[in-house]
């Protein structure tokens, strides 16, 4: 028995059985998902796991059952991957999978539903207005900055990876920003801009056993943290240790754990937080239930700072694969 908090012998590489790494898929983030998935696949294979790539855009999920897969590592991002749909299919197939279950996944992909839950639990998140496609009259759109101030952040309610996110500096930019977001989603989220430090904090585990990893501070060129900076340039700096004042990191970790638990997340996730420069108060932006696992990605970076290697992280996540409704238990009852 290992004393290093590594995977217990009963969930060693061979005990996992045949493992599918779900990657690719049909979302706007297919390209990044393929990068995440191939990293995970190599890591699991290097640890002796019988892991195989599986792209749901090219193969029917029912094949998982036919081909005898015993577990799935979900490395899909965005719609159809982290929105509860693939999780529901795996529940029906009875194949345990990594990450959050159906309900937590579908709430978390929707930034507005996420905010509603957080607000109901008294957790801090920036003020917002919801615009529905078809109800985007000019007067309403132009009135948003009066309510939320300028600059204002405009984003589709349900895309990940900063896709379609625009920071609007003046009234004249509102209409175009809303139209761009509305092209990607029926619901458009307009959010108060918080000026200050942008941080992100991964969580591993479930329920009371969930724990927050080290906080990462994101320093983007002119605070312009868009899709391009996120994946394809090296101008953005990621600081871990985050260098925040003593006590602030712990406070953020505690807030993030609460945010994760109230949504009922499990397995793992990553919560993005803004810290107001003036008040130093943290505000929850969003939660990612199937975070990136590329070489550039933030969860592996934070895990390394906590002494967990990329390979070890992949094995730990695979070991945590579960079902919302553990069918085997009921069958044996």
Q: How far apart are CA 327 and CA 255, in angstroms?
A: 33
Catalytic residue among 286, 302, 310, 311: 286
Pick the catalytic residue: 36, 288, 297, 302?
288
Catalytic residue list contains 161: yes
User: Measured between alpha carbons, how far is residue 71 from residues 13, 95, 211 in Å?
Assistant: 12, 6, 23
Burial class of residue 194 in the structure, from the number of CB atoms within 10 Å of its CB (0-12 exposed, 13-18 middle, 19+ buried): buried
- 270 carries an active-site annotation: yes
| DSSP states along 6-59 | ---GGGSTTTT-EEEEE---SSTTHHHHHHHHHHHHHHHHHTT-EEEEE-TTTS
Given the residues 292, 297, 302, 310, select the one marked as catalytic: 292
Residue among 161, 264, 259, 243 at smallest CA distance from 199: 243
**Of residues 85, 19, 75, the one with CA closest to residue 267:** 75
User: For residue 270, which of 228, 246, 305, 301 has the smallest C-alpha distance?
Assistant: 301
Backbone Cα Rg of the chain: 20
CA distance 69 to 34: 20
Q: Which two tokens stand for residue 47?
A: 């640890």
Asked if 152 contacts 191 with a C-beta cutoff of 8 angstroms, the reply is yes
Q: Which of 128, 231, 260, 310 is flagged as catalytic?
A: 231
* φ, ψ of residue 21 in degrees (nearest 5): -100, 110
Active-site residue among 129, 158, 266, 270?
270
Catalytic residue check, 71: no
Question: Is 329 an active-site residue?
Answer: no
Question: Residue 229 catalytic?
Answer: no
Q: Known catalytic residue: 223?
A: no
Helix axes 310-319, 298-305, angle to 10 degrees: 100
Q: Which of 29, 55, 159, 226 is catalytic?
A: 29
Which sequence positions are flagged as catalytic? 29, 161, 231, 270, 272, 286, 288, 292
């Amino acid at each position: 028995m290992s004393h290093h908090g590594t995977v217990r012998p009963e969930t060693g590489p061979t005990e996992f059985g045949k493992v599918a790494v779900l990657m690719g898929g049909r979302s706007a983030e297919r390209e990044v998902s393929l990068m995440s998935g191939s990293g995970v696949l190599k890591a699991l294979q290097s640890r002796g796991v019988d892991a195989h790539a599986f792209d749901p855009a090219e193969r029917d999920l029912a094949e998982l059952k036919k081909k005898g897969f015993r577990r799935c590592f979900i490395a899909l991002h965005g719609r159809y991957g982290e929105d509860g749909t693939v999780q529901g299919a795996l529940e029906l197939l009875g194949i345990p999978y990594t990450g959050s279950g159906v309900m937590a996944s579908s709430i978390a992909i929707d930034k507005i539903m996420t905010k509603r839950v957080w607000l109901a639990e008294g957790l801090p998140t920036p003020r917002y207005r919801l615009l529905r496609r078809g109800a985007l009259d000019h007067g309403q759109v132009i009135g948003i900055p009066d309510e939320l101030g300028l600059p204002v952040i405009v984003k589709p309610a349900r895309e990940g990876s900063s896709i379609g996110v625009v920071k609007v500096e003046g009234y004249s930019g509102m209409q175009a920003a809303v139209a761009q977001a509305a092209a990607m989603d029926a619901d458009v989220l307009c959010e108060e801009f918080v000026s200050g430090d942008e941080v992100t904090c991964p969580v591993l585990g479930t329920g009371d056993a969930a724990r927050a990893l080290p906080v990462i501070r994101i320093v983007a060129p002119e605070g312009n943290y868009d899709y391009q900076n996120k994946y394809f340039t090296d101008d953005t700096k990621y600081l871990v240790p985050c260098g925040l004042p003593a006590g602030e990191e712990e406070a953020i970790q505690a807030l993030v754990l609460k945010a994760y638990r109230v949504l009922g997340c499990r397995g793992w996730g990553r919560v993005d937080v803004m810290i107001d420069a003036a008040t130093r108060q943290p505000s929850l932006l969003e939660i990612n239930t199937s975070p990136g696992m590329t070489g550039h990605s933030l969860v592996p970076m934070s895990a390394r700072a906590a002494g967990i290697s990329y390979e070890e992280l992949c094995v730990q996540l695979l070991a945590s694969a579960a079902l919302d409704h553990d069918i085997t238990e009921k069958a044996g009852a």
